[in-house]
Structure formats: structure tokens, C-alpha cells
Chain A
Amino acid sequence: MEQSVAAATVTPPVSSSSRNWSEPLAFAIMVAALAIAPLYIYPMFLMQALCFALFACAFNLLIGYGGLLSFGHALYFGWASYLAAHSAKVWGFPPELAILTGTLTAAVLGLVAGSLAIRRQGIYFAMITLALAQMMFFFALQMKFTGGEDGIQAVPRGRLFGLIDLADTFNMYVTVLLIFLAGFLLIYRIIHSPFGEVLKAIRENEPRAISLGYKTDRYKLLAFVLSATLAGLAGSTKAIVLQIASLTDVDWPMSGEVVLMALVGGLGTVFGPVAGAFVIIAMQTYLAQVGQWVTVIQGAIFVICVLLFRRGIIGELAAYLRIKL
């Protein structure tokens, strides 16, 4: 009954040798592109896109490899963003500690929400994560420190390790790029570790994984916490980069947006969420004039992707080139 996400999406069988070169090559191209990009593209856009790319990768770890659709990932992104902003602005934390505070907050929230959500499977899992996120949205709305409708504004970027002034755009860009690459490589490592293999086995057939003696709940919970933590890292970094944490980051449309990014790029592909995040953020930035239509366009992209384009951009590309991406 639980068919996998990937069974419908993932690339056709690939010869084992192609795995050795296609992913590292794509990684090298990505790093090179991101290194020269600020010469041609507005750096604020790039930094924002990188934060969302990390967010989408974290989300994809859960759905693409664990087969678990979380519809409430704004919870970890948004709350990490609040805590990072608050600790930097009010407690005067340096940026590295502020980001750490936000990330740890997301880890704790992920542990609590995850241990509740994994008690149900499939479609219920999505509804539970959405409902828990909505609950925490109301808390954010009511609590004093979040600033309600105003959010936390004018968050200081500070000096990294007391040395590097992040108010400088170049320094900030390099920092964000390094954080993104660290998170990306960690996710890559997780996917290709024995833990990641068990996760994929659970995605494909959970009862069989249980019969083989795996305590699947533990694997699912750990994947959930890892995903929430990395989403928190993305949210904290975003708070420092854009110098704001607001209700938008914890509200349900944000949860939908990250799903859309991963879907557009390709669920269960390594590079898909990165491509998806850049496409969606570019769309929001350059279509800002048309205002309200952005929601309609996003909805239309959802519908088109699900009906015609389930592999996403990178998934289609990988299938066409017969490589793994």
C-alpha cells in the first residue's frame, strides 16, 4: 500500500560506474558557478537563494530518502530564525553562536515534533506535521519576543569569530556559501552512509525493513531530527543574512514553498532541491511586480509538476543523460 515516492520519480537503472563521476562532477560545477556568480548576479539574491537551497535539501532528506512528507518544515526554519535573530540582537551573541542557538532550537523542536509525527504513517504524517507547525505558528504570534506582526527587525550581522565583519557583503557571501556547502556535503554523506541505505530501505518497504530487524522508528526519528536541524541551520543563517525574522518564516505557506522547491527540482535527487530553490526564489524576486499572481503561479507549478513532471528538473535531466544527480 505504501508505494514509495521514489519508485515513481527516481531515475531509471543506472550502471554502477556512472555513479563514480556524475555526482562529484556536478558538485564541482555547482561550486564553480556559485564562486563566480556574485560577479554577475545581485549577491543578496544569491545568499537568500542559498539559504533556501539548504532548507530544501534538508526537507528533501526526509521525503526523498525517508519517504516522509513533512508539511510543517516552516516550524524549524522559522523558529530557528527567531532564536538566531533574538540571540544576536537582544543577547548580543556573535553570529556563529546565534546560528548555533537557532540550529539547536530546531533540533529540539524536531525531536519533539518528530517523535509525535512518526507515530502515524503516510498521509497522517503530513497532516500531523502541518498541524504541529500551525500550533507553533500561533505561539509565535502570541509570544512577546517574536515581535508579533513586526517580527524581529534590524538583526546585527556582527563579526564572525570576533574577526570577520559580516556587514561586508563579500564576507557574508563567503560565509553563507561555506555554510551551505557544509550542510550540502553533510546531507550527501548521510544519503550515502549505511544509515542512508537503511532509510531508503524503509522508504521502499517498511514492513520488510522491520522484519529484517531494523528498529525503523529510530531511523525515521533520527532522519527527522537531522532534517529539522539542517532546516534550522538554513533558517538561522537566513536571519543573519536578511537581518530579519518574521511570521512569514513560520507560517504554512512557507512549508508549502519548500515542498514546491524540492518538487520542482526533483524529489530524491541530490542537486534537485538546490535547482528548485533557485528557480522559485528567482520567480518570487523577478515576478514581484505581479504581486498576488505569485500564489496562483506557484499553485499552477504544483499542479503541472505532479501531473506531467514528477521527476522535477534535475530528475528529468538525469534521466535524459542516464546519470545519477
Chain B
Amino acid sequence: MFEIFGIPSQALFSQLLIGLINGSFYALLSLGLAVIFGMLNIINFTHGAQYMLGAFAAFLLLQYTGIGYWPALIVAPVLVGLIGMAIERTMLQWLYKLDHLYGLLLTFGLALIIEGLARNYYGSAGLPYQMPEALVGGYDLGFMRLPIYRAWVIVASLTVCLATWFVIERTRLGAYLRAATENPALVRAFGINVPRMITFTYGFGVALAAFAGVMAAPIYNVSPQMGSSLIIVVFAVVVIGGMGSIMGAIVTGFGLGVIEGLTKVFFPEASNTVIFVIMAIVLLVRPAGLFGRRA
């Protein structure tokens, strides 16, 4: 066992791994927020609650229908995404012409409702979710033990993030989407059904959050408040990265996760606050955010 800066490498690498895991969730969630904001001009405060709903959906699917982890990875995001689309059709669509802040207030209210209901029926204590058998155990890398499940989370979320980036930046569908973000009226004039595109975009962003929730379920317990503290950190991540760039959201998410993990090793007292401190510094030095365009 060797040491780096007086810290045992085992501790350092395991915190680094935890940092990457958290970073995966930051990246998936801030990506979803950025996609939704681009199309709807709404900051989706319900995002944390929808992440929690994803975990709960996986838990309930296993409990009542016996559907396991692997199908739940697809089924839960689809279900939560459909709920999201229903929310968009019934409520959010009336707010596009108003000030941004009404979208924030409405989605904040929805988050309170969803979290309150979950707490009423399942209590505040976490519910355990079994890890799938194929991913139990770990590899011994010599300098550290790598639990297979954690490696899977990082690989899976990185894949989903990059696939999302590819679809938006490199395909025809993505081109429509980007065009509709810039000028919805013109895109509509070309015969593309923009309102339907908006609905699907919201559903997709929400599904990303639910996907993160399903992946989080075996690591953290499934609990009603798992999303509310996370979403505030993700807001800080979004302020740091700026919402103008998809790749920016991914890089910032993973990067800040790693920094947070390292802080836990070197200066544990600050691990809760380091992302907010970085946000304050970024605001002083580069007010538009690392990847942001000045409005």
C-alpha cells in the first residue's frame, strides 16, 4: 500500500470513485435540466423529485410485479417520462408566454407534492433495493478494489450522456431540436410540430432524471428526500457550467463530482460546501459560467 500526499491510496481512490459516481448523477441531471431549459425556457425544479420517482418506480416494479433491475432501467424512465409529458401537456404548456419564474414556482410546487406524497406513504426512512446479481462483487485492481456496480454506473451514465450529446449535436432530429430552441416560429413554419417536440423533450429530460434514479437505487437507499438536496447541488453545477452547451454540462458534472470526492479526502469538513464555493468563485471570475454564452 503506498501513499499520495500522506493519504493512503486506497482511501484516495475510493473517494475518487465515489466522486465519479456522484459526478455521473450530476451530469445526467444537469444534462436533463439543460435540455429542458433549452426547449421550454423553464427550470425544472421537479427534476430532483423525478429522480426520486425513478428510484421509487424501480422499487415498486420489483415489489409488486417482480420486474427486476435490468428491465426497470428502461421501464421506470419510460413511466416517469410519460408522467412528465402529462405534466407538460396539462400544466407547463400554459406558462411558456410568461416570465421564467412561474415555471420555476410551478415545478417547485409539483416537487413538494410528489415528495410529500412519497413521504406520507413510505416514511422518511430509506427502502433498500437489491443490487442485480450480475453486478455484485468487485475486481481487485492491485491499488484498490473496484466494485463492479460502481464501475457499471459510471460507464452507463457516461454512455447515456454521450449518446444524448450525439443525438442533439450530430443527427437530423437534434438539428430540428436546436433550430426549435433558437426560433420555434420559423421551425413551425417549415412544417415541424414544435409543441409535440417540446412535449417529447420534456419527457426525455425527465426520463434522464428517472434513469439516474434507478441507477442510484442500489447505492443509496430509495427515500423520498433523495432528490431534494441533490437538485440544489445540480443547480450550482448548472450555474458553474452554464446551460448553453450539452458537452459543458457533462464535463462540469463529472468534474465537480471528482473535486467533491477529493475534498472529502483532504478537507472533509468542506465536502458539503465545496461546489457552492466553486460556484461563487466562478461567478466572480467568469460570470457567464465556464461554458456559457453571455446573454
Question: Which of A's residues lie within 8 Å of B, judged by CB?
Answer: 2-5, 7-8, 63, 69, 71, 116-117, 119-124, 126-128, 130-132, 134-135, 138-139, 142, 252, 256, 259, 263, 292-296, 298-303, 305-307, 310
Residues of B65-88 whose CB lies within 8 A of A: none
- Name A5's contact: one of B43, B91, B101 (CB within 8 Å): B101
Q: Tell whether B116 is near chain A: CB-to-CB under 8 Å.
A: yes
Task: Tell whether A135 pairs with B277 under 8 Å between CB atoms, given A116-B284, A293-B116.
Answer: yes
Q: Would B120 and A299 count as touching, CB distance under 8 A?
A: no
- Name B283's contact: one of A119, A123, A298, A303 (CB within 8 Å): A119
- Chain B: interface residue total (CB-CB under 8 A): 45
Task: Tell whether A121 pairs with B295 under 8 Å between CB atoms, given A3-B99, A256-B112, A298-B112.
Answer: yes
- Name B106's contact: one of A3, A122, A124, A307 (CB within 8 Å): A307
Q: Tell whether B287 is near chain A: CB-to-CB under 8 Å.
A: yes
In angstroms, Cα B239 to Cα A298, docked, is 27
24 contacts between A and B (CB under 8 A): A2-B99, A5-B99, A8-B99, A117-B283, A123-B100, A124-B239, A126-B104, A128-B279, A128-B283, A130-B235, A131-B233, A131-B279, A134-B232, A138-B273, A256-B112, A295-B116, A295-B119, A296-B116, A299-B111, A302-B106, A303-B113, A306-B102, A307-B91, A310-B98
> Which 8 A-B pairs rank lowest in CB-CB distance, beginning with the nearest?
A302-B109, A299-B112, A295-B116, A135-B276, A299-B113, A296-B116, A131-B236, A127-B235
Q: Tell whether B133 is near chain A: CB-to-CB under 8 Å.
A: no
Nearest residue, chain B, Cβ from A3 = B99
Task: Tell whether A116 pairs with B112 under 8 Å between CB atoms, given A123-B101, A126-B104, A127-B43.
Answer: no
Could you mark each residue 13-24 of chain B with 1 if its beta carbon is under 8 Å from any beta carbon of chain A, else 0? 000000000000
Q: Please name all residues of chain B whose beta carbon is closer than 8 Å to the beta carbon of A116 when the two chains form the complex.
A: 280, 283-284
In angstroms, Cα B116 to Cα A224, docked, is 31
Q: Tell whether B269 is near chain A: CB-to-CB under 8 Å.
A: yes
Q: Tell whether B115 is near chain A: CB-to-CB under 8 Å.
A: yes
Residues of B143-195 whose CB lies within 8 A of A: none
Q: Tell whether B94 is near chain A: CB-to-CB under 8 Å.
A: yes
In angstroms, Cα B106 to Cα A310, docked, is 11
Q: Would B238 and A127 count as touching, CB distance under 8 A?
A: yes
In angstroms, Cα B280 to Cα A121, docked, is 15
Name, among B109, B116, B119, B239, the residue most crowded by chain A CB atoms within 10 Å (CB to CB).
B109
Known: A119-B287, A131-B235. 8 other contacts (CB 8 A): A116-B283, A120-B239, A122-B100, A128-B279, A259-B108, A292-B119, A302-B110, A310-B98
Q: Tell whether B117 is near chain A: CB-to-CB under 8 Å.
A: yes
Q: Please name all residues of chain B whose beta carbon is closer than 8 Å to the beta carbon of A302 when the two chains form the complex.
A: 105-106, 108-110, 112
Nearest residue, chain A, Cβ from B272 = A138
In angstroms, Cα B108 to Cα A299, docked, is 7
Q: Tell whether B197 is near chain A: CB-to-CB under 8 Å.
A: no
Q: Would B113 and A127 count as touching, CB distance under 8 A?
A: no
Q: Would B106 and A303 count as touching, CB distance under 8 A?
A: yes
Q: Please name all residues of chain B whose beta carbon is closer than 8 Å to the beta carbon of A259 when the two chains form the complex.
A: 105, 108
- Name B101's contact: one of A69, A120, A128, A134 (CB within 8 Å): A69
Q: Would A307 and B116 count as touching, CB distance under 8 A?
A: no
Task: Tell whether A307 pairs with B94 under 8 Å between CB atoms, given A5-B99, A126-B101, A135-B273.
Answer: yes
Q: Please name all residues of chain B whose beta carbon is closer than 8 Å to the beta carbon of A139 when the two chains form the complex.
A: 273
Q: Would A303 and B109 count as touching, CB distance under 8 A?
A: yes
Q: Tell whether B95 is near chain A: CB-to-CB under 8 Å.
A: yes
Q: Would A130 and B232 count as touching, CB distance under 8 A?
A: yes
Q: Please name all residues of chain B whose beta carbon is closer than 8 Å to the beta carbon of A306 when the two chains form the complex.
A: 95, 102, 105-106, 109
B49: min CB distance to chain A, Å: 10
Q: Please name all residues of chain B whose beta carbon is closer than 8 Å to the beta carbon of A263 when the two chains form the complex.
A: 105
How many A-B residue pairs have C-beta atoms within 8 angstroms? Tell me. 129
Q: Please name all residues of chain A whose beta carbon is closer than 8 Å to the beta carbon of B106 when the two chains form the complex.
A: 302-303, 306-307
In angstroms, Cα B91 to Cα A300, docked, is 12
In angstroms, Cα B120 to Cα A292, docked, is 6
Q: Would B284 and A142 count as touching, CB distance under 8 A?
A: no
Could you mark each residue 224-240 of chain B with 1 if its beta carbon is under 8 Å from any beta carbon of chain A, else 0? 00001100110110110
Q: Would A300 and B113 count as touching, CB distance under 8 A?
A: yes
- Name A3's contact: one of B94, B98, B117, B238 (CB within 8 Å): B98
In angstroms, Cα B238 to Cα A122, docked, is 14
In angstroms, Cα B104 to Cα A63, docked, is 14
Task: Tell whether A131 pairs with B120 under 8 Å between CB atoms, given A123-B100, A301-B109, A303-B110.
Answer: no
In angstroms, Cα B96 to Cα A8, docked, is 12
Nearest residue, chain A, Cβ from B49 = A299
In angstroms, Cα B108 to Cα A123, docked, is 13
In angstroms, Cα B115 to Cα A293, docked, is 10
Name, among B101, B284, B287, the residue most crowded by chain A CB atoms within 10 Å (CB to CB).
B101
Nearest residue, chain B, Cβ from A113 = B280
In angstroms, Cα B116 to Cα A123, docked, is 25
Nearest residue, chain A, Cβ from B101 = A69
Q: Would A252 and B284 count as touching, CB distance under 8 A?
A: no
B29: min CB distance to chain A, Å: 13
Q: Would A256 and B279 count as touching, CB distance under 8 A?
A: no
Nearest residue, chain A, Cβ from B105 = A306
In angstroms, Cα B283 to Cα A124, docked, is 11
Task: Tell whether A295 pairs with B112 under 8 Å between CB atoms, given A116-B284, A302-B106.
Answer: yes
Name, among B105, B114, B279, the residue most crowded by chain A CB atoms within 10 Å (CB to CB).
B105
In angstroms, Cα B105 to Cα A8, docked, is 14
In angstroms, Cα B113 to Cα A294, docked, is 10
A281: min CB distance to chain B, Å: 17
In angstroms, Cα B228 to Cα A121, docked, is 24
In angstroms, Cα B277 to Cα A138, docked, is 12
Task: Tell whether A293 pairs with B273 under 8 Å between CB atoms, given A3-B98, A116-B283, A127-B238.
Answer: no
Task: Tell whether A295 pairs with B295 under 8 Å between CB atoms, given A116-B280, A127-B43, A131-B239.
Answer: no
